[in-house]
Amino acid sequence: MSKTPFEIRSDILHLAARNLELKYHLEVEVSRKILDKTLNSLDLNLPDIKTAAKHRAELAKELEGILPPPPSSDSIVAEANKLYKFVTTKD
């Protein structure tokens, strides 16, 4: 049984959303690992636990701002359009 054009577009939209969500989660995981390594190395170079905790909190707050944003509706639609164009192009 073949799919209707609506079903095809819906499948492509879901595929685009899934691809961008996977990319986002991978980027967040890598960013968090870098953050953890940075914070752990910082702890080794500070004289006492209180100072280390203060610097750790400050650095964590600054680094949280560099985490990638989650995919937006517009980016999902743009990705779906790329996939749809690929599917409909005859090369």
Residue 10 in any domain: the answer is: no
Q: How many domains does the chain have?
A: 1
Q: What is the pLDDT of residue 36?
A: 77
Q: What is the pLDDT of residue 15?
A: 96
Residue 91 in any domain: the answer is: no
Global pTM exceeds 0.85 = no
Candidates 76, 70, 65, 84; CA nearest to 5 is: 84
Range of the domain at 33: 27-69
| pLDDT tens for the 91 residues of the chain, in order | 798 988 989 999 999 999 999 999 999 898 888 877 777 776 566 667 677 677 777 777 776 777 788 999 999 999 999 998 887 888 7
Distance between CA atoms of residues 85 and 91, nearest Å = 12
Distance between CA atoms of residues 18 and 13, nearest Å = 9
